[in-house]
Chain A
Amino acid sequence: MEENWLLRVRNLTKIFGAVTPGVCERTGPKVNSNICPRTGAVVACSNISFDLYPGEVLGVVGESGSGKSTLVQMLYFDQPATSGEAFFRPVEDGAANILDLSNQRKRYVRNHLMGMVYQNPRDGLNFRFSSGGNIAEKLLMAGVFNVGKIRIRATDLLSHTEVPVKRMDESPARFSGGMQQRVQIAKAIANNPPLLLLDEVTSGLDVSVQAKVLDLIRGLQQEMGISMIVVSHDLGVIRMLTDRTMVLKHGQIVEQGLTDQILQDPQHGYTQLLVSSLL
């Protein structure tokens, strides 16, 4: 069990500003700040280590600015990491640090092996292309150069994510927020990636639409067995989707464990505050 991980992250660190020795010790939950008192550098993520297993859903919870989004953005190569390593089983059987791959290999990993759903659909979708075109982009990146096949796959994905197939050739700009988010999910899973990163997918949606999107994600997870990292500040989302949870504060993990355990018996003061403020 210990060795069949899908994604292994070790000491992942992201510092905006001067990287000085001991900067990670001068910041964090203990001093209640992620700004280095000497240099003013912001430590977004500080020595994050965790393993993700196949088919598992890992929640990352924390307040704004705790480093949740930076964490997944580094794993999706949107931002370069300052230091640390990440190993991904489909890449050289987990032997290579994916953060050190060439840009071309990174693009391969992004397009074939990972999917990302951003909080803001504008980050994940190109609003100048149609919804079908957005899905086509992902398929074209993976080397599918057959319009017939692209149309069939896009139709499948959109009907799966409950976007009216009739509106496939419209720009997502003309869709509601919930529909845009579902198009984004369709795009993210277009190549059946083993890992899906979800960054605050339901923030900004109204409650009934939130429930539908969450249902969709849970359904996909059960059906396809995708491993997921779900970033959210909403404990409801975490409770509904995830098996295991990490609580981040000021760039550091303050608590981790089974989601039910964390929500029912939080140990760390900050987690207790989060859980109590939910009610």
Chain B
Amino acid sequence: MIENLKFRESFNYAYIDEFTKKEIRRKTLKAVCIPGYQVPYASPEMPISRGWGTGGLHLTLSLVGPNDVVKVIDQGSDASVNACNLRLFIKEMARCAVTFDTGLATIIQSRHRVPEEILTEKQILVLQVPQPEILRSVERHEAKTRAMHAEADYAKIWVTLYEAYVRNGTLRNAAGHPILVNGRYVATPSPIPSWDVPNLSMARCLYLFGAGREKRIHCIPPFTPVKPLEFEDIRFKVEEFIGVRCSASGEDKAFMDEIYANDLSRSWVINDSNFLDKVRQGPRPPQRLFTNPE
């Protein structure tokens, strides 16, 4: 009897069937070729609902192999429910190793943070993106935003920065400062804090952005210049933690969470959980730090 390998298991390797994975890889390659450009893709059904990290999951599962080491982080933490569940799912489906250690991982799937530790050319960072269209806040119609990208018509997004400055005295809106990728496309870095934005530029690793609900993939290839949008006189700045130290490690050079205790006293702790562990155990892992313009 001929054994049908295809149906020996109840699911295909890495959950998604091979043709669909191929489609995602093809779209990923296109995204790599046109840095910052949003490539539409099919966004197949997953066992979690769209908008809960499916874009990241698609990219991770289309790339993962049995020799990969996968790390999943959610807002800097390996231990959040979302990160645990996605990690377990990837491990079960791809029969690959998983880790908390940023340095050991070959594929890192992340939500809302870029790890503090410098990533290398052997690593891929997959970011989950809720809204890939940076122009959506200023233009509702997809046809128009596409034309705006095609013609590099970005005045409206500049106006939002101007307005943010007029209202708040700073260019920083919230998370996800608009970036100019390779001098051509304005893109969203996904809702990462400004602290992480300079890490996207001329990095050694590959950054992939997957938006499952919006069915878009975009990418920042290694060694690609990425510039946060800023005015000639009002410059982009990262978050500042002045006079503040991490209550767990005593460090001050990392992105920190502000934690309120029951008595309303505040303390700060390093947001990237693996970086915090390494800092506490030593030696301190290599980190890229951006100095704010005066």
Name A residues whose Cβ lies closer than 8 Å to a Cβ of B: 103-104, 107, 126, 128-130, 132-134, 136-137, 140-141, 145-150, 169
Contact = CB atoms under 8 A, between A and B. Distances in A.
B147 A147 contact: no
A141 B154 CA distance: 8
Given A146-B233, A147-B162, A141 B155 contact: yes
Given A104-B151, A169-B166, A148 B159 contact: no
B234 interface: yes
A128 B138 CA distance: 9
B162 A136 contact: yes
B147 A103 contact: yes
B231 A145 contact: yes
B139 to A, nearest CB: 10
28 contacts: A103-B151, A104-B151, A104-B152, A107-B151, A126-B159, A130-B163, A130-B166, A132-B166, A133-B162, A136-B159, A137-B155, A137-B156, A137-B158, A137-B159, A140-B155, A140-B158, A140-B162, A141-B155, A145-B158, A145-B231, A146-B231, A146-B233, A147-B162, A147-B234, A148-B233, A150-B162, A169-B166, A169-B167
A138 B242 CA distance: 38
Contact of A147 (B138, B167, B231): B231
Contacts of B151: 103-104, 107
A147 B159 contact: no
A101 to B, nearest CB: 12
B165 interface: yes
Contacts of A104: 151-152
Interface extent on B, as a size class? 10 to 19
Contacts of B9: none
Contacts of B233: 146-149
Instruction: Label chain A's interface by main secondary structure.
Output: helix
B118 to A, nearest CB: 31
Given A107-B151, A147-B231, 10 more contacts: A104-B151, A126-B156, A132-B162, A133-B163, A136-B159, A137-B156, A137-B158, A140-B162, A145-B231, A146-B233
Contacts of B167: 169
Contacts of B3: none
Nearest to B229: A145
A140 B186 CA distance: 15
Contacts of A129: 159, 163
A169 B155 CA distance: 18
Q: What 3 pairs across the A-B complex have the smallest Cβ distances?
A: A141-B155, A146-B232, A140-B155
Contacts of A137: 155-156, 158-159
Contacts of A134: 159
Contacts of A132: 162, 166
Interface string B134-170: 0000100000000100011101101100110111000
A130 B233 CA distance: 20
Contacts of B165: 147
A104 B156 CA distance: 16
B138 to A, nearest CB: 8
A169 to B, nearest CB: 5
Contacts of B155: 137, 140-141
A140 B232 contact: no
A133 B162 CA distance: 7
A162 B92 CA distance: 69
Interface string B70-84: 000000000000000
Nearest to A148: B233
B68 to A, nearest CB: 43
A225 to B, nearest CB: 27
A137 B159 CA distance: 6
Contacts of A145: 158, 231-232
Nearest to B171: A147
Interface in B183-238: 231-234
A200 B202 CA distance: 52
Contacts of A146: 231-233
A89 to B, nearest CB: 24
